[in-house]
């Protein structure tokens, strides 16, 4: 394990004023979003869409790293450049999603565990050769009646830690993503309690597996009330609750925390991230973003699979990325939204 390389890559991925773009949707998920907009669900259209993203002028101004899926990292842009190389040429660190998805946890109804450890060492070596310098693994935690149980948290934390150790062995920075889902009627306080418990177990397992904390990036959920909860707190309260939870659970050695958007509206995600940087004492880690839909959705809605719409879609993509870059520094405001129209 090259400690210096891993630490340097983790810092580069989360450089000042920048964050990560998650463009690693699985083919079924991407096809579902295409279908909703009347876009053909084909490999060629997925490639064209990823080309739109990677070649967007100015994207590197606020994006330091981009997460690819297995299909994309094996493809070339429409100009014939490997996607990972095109990102690197633009000053964006290429990464790769390596998990095999969340599956039902045997013996625990309603709970999920992420699979994909079998053969991972060999896949990581191959991804390194293709240009990836970091990886991502997502665990899914559901809040419900009696959920999550201890077994679900333990199984997912152990898998995350084993994945992270294998990544670092291969020279890739692991993004550790334990996502507590927004779905449900749970309160903000309930989400905070579950998120705190999950993060405690995750970091205990990371330590157990000898994972270098300076060479990873944590990708957690923001602490949020459930989508169906009748009490929806404002951005300031959510920011306070989220940061308090992280201060209780995340070691100072971790260089960066890159929040997932998790289905939040693009403007909401930016506002809440911004609130974490306004009028607050310094925290030991960089607080940044690793958003998917909260950056991509406006661009996808504009593009709709039409070549004539590519430039407008790219401008919308870069605008949303820039909004989040500003939020990382506490400079975002609702007035910025009008600047992108």
337 noted as active-site residue: no
Cβ neighbors of 60 (< 8 A, separation 6 or more) are 90, 91, 92
**Strands annotated E in the chain:** 19-22, 63-68, 93-97, 102-104, 112-114, 134-141, 173-180, 217-218, 256-259, 286-291
Question: Tell me, what DSSP letter sits at residue 215?
Answer: G
Rounded Cα gap, residues 191 and 193, in angstroms: 5
Q: What is the Cα–Cα distance from 199 to 8, expressed in whole angstroms?
A: 24
- Give the Cα separation of 210 and 123 in Å (integer): 21
User: HEC profile for 109-164?
Assistant: CCCEEECCCCCHHHHHHHHHHCCCCEEEEEEEECCECCECCHHHHHHHHHHHHHHH
CA distance 133 to 135: 7
State the catalytic residue, choosing from 25, 177, 179, 271. 177
Known catalytic residue at 103: no
List 97, 179, 219, 271, catalytic entry: 219
Active centre residues (catalytic): 177, 219
């Amino acid at each position: 394990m090259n400690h210096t390389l891993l630490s340097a890559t983790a810092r580069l991925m989360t450089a000042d004023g920048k964050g990560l773009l998650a463009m690693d949707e699985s083919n079924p998920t991407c096809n579902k979003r295409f279908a909703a907009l009347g876009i053909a669900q084909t490999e060629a259209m997925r490639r064209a869409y990823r080309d739109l993203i990677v070649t967007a002028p100015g994207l590197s101004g606020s994006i330091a790293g981009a997460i690819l899926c297995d299909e994309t990292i094996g493809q070339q842009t429409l100009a014939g450049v490997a996607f990972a190389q095109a990102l690197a040429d633009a000053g964006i660190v290429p990464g790769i999603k390596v998990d095999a998805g969340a599956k039902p946890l045997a013996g625990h109804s309603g709970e999920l565990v992420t699979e994909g450890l079998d053969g991972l060492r060999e896949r990581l070596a191959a991804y390194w050769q293709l240009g990836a310098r970091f990886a991502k693994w997502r665990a899914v935690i559901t809040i419900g009646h009696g959920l999550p149980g201890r077994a679900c948290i333990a199984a997912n934390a152990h898998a995350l830690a084993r994945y992270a150790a294998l990544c670092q062995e291969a020279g890739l920075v692991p993004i550790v993503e334990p996502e507590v889902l927004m779905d449900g009627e749970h309160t903000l306080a309930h989400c905070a309690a579950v998120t705190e418990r999950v993060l405690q177990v995750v970091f205990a397992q990371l330590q157990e597996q000898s994972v270098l904390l300076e060479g990873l990036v944590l990708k957690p959920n923001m602490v949020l009330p459930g989508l169906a909860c009748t009490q929806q707190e404002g951005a300031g309260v959510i920011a306070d609750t989220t940061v308090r939870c992280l201060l209780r659970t995340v070691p100072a050695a971790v260089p960066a925390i890159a929040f997932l958007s998790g289905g939040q509206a693009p403007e909401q995600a930016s506002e809440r991230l911004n609130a974490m940087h306004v009028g607050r004492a310094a925290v030991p880690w960089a607080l940044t973003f690793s958003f998917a839909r909260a950056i991509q959705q406006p661009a996808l809605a504009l593009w709709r699979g039409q070549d004539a719409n590519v430039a407008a879609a790219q401008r919308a993509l870069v605008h949303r990325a820039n909004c989040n870059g500003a939020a990382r520094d506490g400079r975002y405001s609702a007035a910025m939204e009008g600047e992108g129209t």
